[in-house]
Amino acid sequence: MPAAAVPVAPPPARRPPLTLRRGVTGALVTALVAALLALVPAPAAEAAPVLLSQGRPATASSQENGGTPAAAAVDGNPGTRWSSSFSDPQWLQVDLGGPAAVSQVVLRWEAAYAKAYRIELSTDGTNWSTAHSTTTGAGGTETVPVTGTARYVRMHGVTRATGYGYSLWEFRVYGNGDGGPVLPGGGDLGPNVHVFDPATPGIQAKLDEVFRQQESAQFGSGRHAFLFKPGTYHNLNAQIGFYTQIAGLGLRPGDTTINGDVTVDAGWFNGNATQNFWRGAEGLTLNPVSGTNRWAVSQAASFRRMHVKGGLNLAPDGYGWASGGYIADSKVDGQIGNYSQQQWYTRDSAIGGWSNSVWNQVFSGVEGAPATGFPEPRYTTLATTPISREKPFLYLDGNEYKVFAPAKRTNARGTTWANGTPQGESIPLSRFYVVKPGATAATINRALAQGLHLLFTPGVYHVDRTIDVNRANTIVLGLGLATIIPDNGVTAMRVADVGGVRLAGFLIDAGAVNSPTLLEIGPQGAAADHAANPTTVQDVYIRIGGAGPGKATTSMVVNSDDTIIDHTWVWRADHGDGVGWETNRADYGVRVNGDDVLATGLFVEHFNKYDVEWYGERGRTIFYQNEKAYDAPDQAAIQNGTTKGYAAYRVDDSVNTHEAWGLGSYCNYNVDPGIRQDHGFKTPVKPGVKFHSLLVVSLGGMGHYNHVINETGASTVPAGTSTVPSTVVSFP
């Protein structure tokens, strides 16, 4: 965060499918049978088989064309398929990732099916045994019981039923992955989730108690979530400290009203709000006591689905320093007072007005936003957000907890809830494994393998192996800034190249042993088209050092196409414990290899080399905030060949199309103020690569930039110690 600012008042074409067979159902259940069955003692319940194959690596003997890969048969999407070349024999196999007790295979054929085929099992991928064989395959959906232990399962087609190849919409393998117990979904939310209704006594006292614990606990282990059931609450002032989330449990913000305030201020830090990190507010309507609510935050502090019936002040009491934040899907009836906020991003909201601009205020899809004025006033405004899908959230449907997964919007403007119930899907909590402190990575992965989503309750979780999210449409949702720490140098979380995964509301904290990566979205070489159902990463924060020694070579790698990064702070710590040029070494922040990736609200700071590197085509960024590493010991430490310094945001020379709006990079080389950075931004000069509203700032003259982007833009040296931005309106 800035420390020295001066406050101022389409998919590939396919062969058309043949006419599909339709199954005939003829089950007749009579009242008499039902009555008789009611008298028969129920058998002991047996655990249902677990879907093991979805999202796992799949290979095949051939594929018909580029739009029908093997992976399409195990992606959980009923509209995608694998199809082979038009010859016999052909096979499709899936790697379950480890030995499993296999009990059932489901084949959902397209019209081109197998008349004769075998289901084969293998533990090594070389030696195979036959678990099922038929010469009378019927097509449609075939459910095949099998018995055996295998890591690899194969459909071996012997004879085709048509002149085409073999074609499977879905190839599903069920069983028990590791012999452990089947885990239940749902359950209580643990001791650090505080649920209130309007009749709950002592709400203010509980809010105050937790705030006393969390107000200055910047690197503490406490984690809390305050959840308010629908209703109206009076005379509350919820002061929100570190690792604290406050949220309404209604489907719409208007379901839960607080006649009072949800406050963030900076008294703990002498009126300086530049370290008010890691907190959030969601899903509430506020009637502020004074008419204006105070929300003086910096990075990693989201304000989502909020309705403020009044104004919103983003500065601390006394208008001291403040360093950026994020608003989405919210309505503020009155004016938002930006005051000393150096940078801010507001998305898909409605506001009554906005005052002041410091360095970098960006809006997309915001009704009432000021017009673009960059470089003065420093507003960058897009009428719509090209693609957005709001963060999933917990709510109450009557007395039942559910998670709502909002629908994707294109060219979005305004809130999702202005016209009533938002669009999306409700998922019962019974379909989530509720993760509580003490849960192991093995247990978490077993829950995922069973087909459960994850709800992390507030706490700190050490994992000794990677959390593998392999199933399409999986939700991983954290409450109260739940924190995952990888031990022994593992990657904390990986997502397969599947569609619709939603990661939201948690912090990944690097461990003491270097991890090559901390979060991976898709494997290397991922190429599936997810435009219709993208993966989203929302309010997911990454930290290296600060809470103790931590190291990671690259923090976040995005390989999957069409991924949406919607508000993240990826931070190599500049203060706290375990901080030093080599102590919390982290060379790269975010690397994007996937195509058509969109970042809305990207905060990446202090990495030893490149903060952001972009290799994918057609990438877009709306709002970027960066600081170069404060603690570079000298010019030689950041020398990049013949270039002085590593760019804050680099687009690779191979990229032909890229566009970004509202980007800022700041330097504060406080160990060696003589350091020079050739530029903040580096990009190929091509017609399809465009940048809008860029700036670089030397904080108090502690180091300087020679240019803004490439060799364009004035040096910050003429401003001396005045902390005045050098700007470029558009490039090239």
Give the pLDDT confidence score for residue 65 in this predicted structure.
92
Chain position carrying tokens 């060379």: 587
CA–CA gap between residue 567 and residue 386 (Å, rounded): 15
Q: Of 558, 567, 630, nearest to 589 (Cα)?
A: 558
**Tokens 């809390």 map to which residue?**
224
Q: State the DSSP H helix or E strand holding residue 153, giving kind and residue range, or none if neither.
A: strand 141-160
With the CA atoms of 538, 542, 546 and 549 taken in that order, what torsion angle do they form, in degrees rounded to the nearest 10? Answer: 160
End-to-end Cα distance, the chain: 29
Characterize 91-100 residue by residue with b for buried, 16 or more Cβ atoms within 10 angstroms of its Cβ, and e for exposed: bbbbbbbeeb
- The token pair at 723 is 């902390």
Query: What letter would DSSP give residue 717?
Result: G
Q: Which residues of the chain have pLDDT under 70?
A: 1-48, 177-181
Q: Which two tokens stand for residue 359?
A: 């360095």
Give ∠ CA 253-256-262 in degrees, rounded to 5.
Answer: 85
Q: Please, are residues 274 and 321 in contact by the beta-carbon 8 Å criterion? A: yes
SS3 of 502-529:
EEEEEEEECCCCCEEEEEEECCCCCCCC
Which residue in 215, 282, 390, 627 is the catalytic one? 627
Map residue 730 onto helix, strand or coil.
strand
Does residue 142 carry a catalytic annotation? no
> 126 by DSSP, 3-state: which?
coil
> What CA–CA distance (Å, rounded) separates 181 from 171?
24
Give the 3-state DSSP-derived string for 206-224, with helices as H, strands as E and coil as C. HHHHHHHHHCCCCCCCCCE
* CA quadruple 428, 408, 530, 303: dihedral sign: negative
Express as a percent the part of the chain with pLDDT over 70: 93
Instruction: Enumerate residues 6+ apart whose C-beta is below 8 A from 552.
Output: 510, 514, 515, 516, 517, 518, 544, 586
Q: State residue 178's pLDDT score.
A: 57
Does the pTM exceed 0.85?
no
CA proximity to 263, closest of 215, 225, 229, 299: 215
Residue 246, Cα to own-chain centre: how many angstroms?
19
* pLDDT tens-digit readout, 418-449: 998 899 999 999 999 999 999 999 999 989 98
Single out the residue of 287, 530, 522, 293 nearest to residue 389, CA to CA: 530
Bridge partners of residue 225, in order along the sequence: 193, 245
Beta bridge partners of 396: 401
What gap in Å lies between CA 725 and CA 392, rounded to an integer?
Answer: 37
